[in-house]
Amino acid sequence: MSFILKEAFKLVLRSKLNFFLNMISLTLCVILIAISFYLIRASKYLQEYVQQNVNLNIFIKDNLSTDTLNYFQKKLNEQAYTAKVEFISKDKAAEIFLKETGEDFRKILDYNPLPASYTLYLNKDYMNKDSLEKIISSIEKEAIVTEVVSRMDFFQKIISFSERIKFYIFIFTGFMLLVSVYLVYSTVKLIMNSKYDELETMKLVGAKLITIKLPIIINIIFIGILSGIISLSVFYTTVTFFKIDWSLFISITGFNFPLFVAILILAGPFIGSLVTIIALRKISLRV
């Protein structure tokens, strides 16, 4: 076993440039694979968040009777698109405004300018642009309604932007994966060509096939592990430098640190060893 390990590390010294190129490409590939993995999870979270938080704010006229308010709320509750309806009185609206802005307009004005409103939560089947436009149009026709406000366009823009970013990262990840595969494959071929006479001698003295192949495989696995360690260092430096909010990151991506470390550490060796095994498949004990 010591012979195999020595041979594996000798390969590093013999092809320093290829070692460096393999390490850089695998490091970038591993980082991008990890980013892609968590982007998928973040995108799923974002879509679920939108589904849970898309609602309509229905603003109504002042000085309406209790019967009128109850009738309108009952009418909303009977609609197929309604999941839940909440009434926000003028006083409640003032409390929310004070909590969100920290400004108390009552110190300046002797009346409450904020209108009462209903918050309408929609069923999932109606959380699309076409359905939303029809719902808003029908509600705006009600005599007591002054305005209907939706944040659907804003959420749709966020989702669209995240999908575009995810697409470009997937493309770049695929490109880096191909570069990594090519460099690993080329390195293995280069090693085989440079050690051709040595390999032929080992065959003649009866060396086992595993003894010939294993040093090359271990060399690439070592590069992969080193790439994973560098990726972890890059990740830690980024988090520390930008002071990323861990609680927000975890809630958005469902971040699992052991899983993340496993992806970074194992992705490089897995890609490298798989390509190496494929590249070495033609080696046989036939002289």
- At residue 254, the pLDDT reads 67
Taking the CA atoms of residue 147, residue 88, residue 102 and residue 54 in that order, the dihedral angle to the nearest 10 degrees is -60
Mean pLDDT, 10 residues at a time, the chain of 287 residues: 63 70 83 80 74 84 92 94 92 86 77 90 82 90 92 74 80 82 78 65 64 78 88 86 73 72 86 83 61
Buried b (16+ CB within 10 A) or exposed e, 120-141: bebeeebbeeeebeebbeebee
Extended strands (E) in the chain: 55-60, 82-88, 117-122, 145-150
pTM: 0.63
Cα dihedral across residues 209, 214, 220, 221: positive or negative: positive
